Amino acid sequence: MESLKDKDLRAIYCRQVDRIFKVVLNRPEVHNAFNEVMIAELLEVFLKIAKSDEVRVVVLTGVGKSFCAGGDLNWMKRMKDTSYEENYADALQLSELMHTMYTLPQPTIARVNGAAIGGGAGLVAVCDLAIASQDARFGLSEVKLGLVPACISPYVIRKIGETAAREYFLTGERISAERAAEIGLVNEVVHPEVLDEAVQRKAELLVSSGPRALTMCKELIEKVPLMDFDSVKSYTARMIAQLRVSEEGQEGVKAFLGKRKPNWNPNSSPRSRAFGITE
């Protein structure tokens, strides 16, 4: 993969500390609202991450007071005046981004530092884990504009379930960080001052696990609920058999029996090398 370390693009920037790769939404003047530029840059970066053996965990966050305010108003204004075909192509790019992030081989963590509205809430939903500041607020307010959360709906519905989706898709009301945790949109809510520490701790837990095993766990979560019981028996048996005889599985068992760390986890990154986000 082309190196993306410390790379600044137009709407995002990327930083890598050891095996933890940070993707930072960088349009604070519009609360990190996304437009066609940000969508294209995110898609480019995540497609490259998917092919990288160096990246073990991805953290997504935003600069400033907001995580992501959803669609940029100027972008939405431009799309309003274009054809159906142009709108379809534009929306398909967003759908492709969401699917690419959701199916990424590496685990992803959303560091939700502030408001995550509309498509911003979708970016939270496609991440495997989400840790939110107590100040964060969420919303699926597309209906207030006469629109729907279409491209993000497969992932939000999976994350929060049909009951909560019916409530918040239809009412468009704001969701507190605590309520987001109750419905499963985020995993943990912390004080803003310890947000980085909480994300770092979770990232280190992920790095300590077998990278292939993590990818297979994500595949299980995605595919098993869609299978019938007859199909799932052979699918899951094949998966565990493959991992048991794999190099990673063999190393993991040997390390456990030998009371040592496996070769994919030589030493955890020191906490002092944290990941501060440039505000």
Catalytic residues: 142
User: Mind giving me the DSSP string for the chain?
Assistant: ----TTEE-SSEEEEEETTEEEEEE--GGGTT-B-HHHHHHHHHHHHHHHT-SS--EEEEEESTT-SB-SB-HHHHHHHHTS-HHHHHHHHHHHHHHHHHHHT-SS-EEEEE-S-EETHHHHHHHHSSEEEEETT-EEE--GGGGT---TTTHHHHHHHHHHHHHHHHHHH--EEEHHHHHHHTS-SEEE-GGGHHHHHHHHHHHHHTS-HHHHHHHHHHHHHGGGS-HHHHHHHHHHHHHHHHHSHHHHHHHHHHHTTS--TT-SSPPPGGG------
Q: Which residues are within 8 A (CB) of 247 and not within 5 positions of it... i.e. 6 or more apart?
A: none
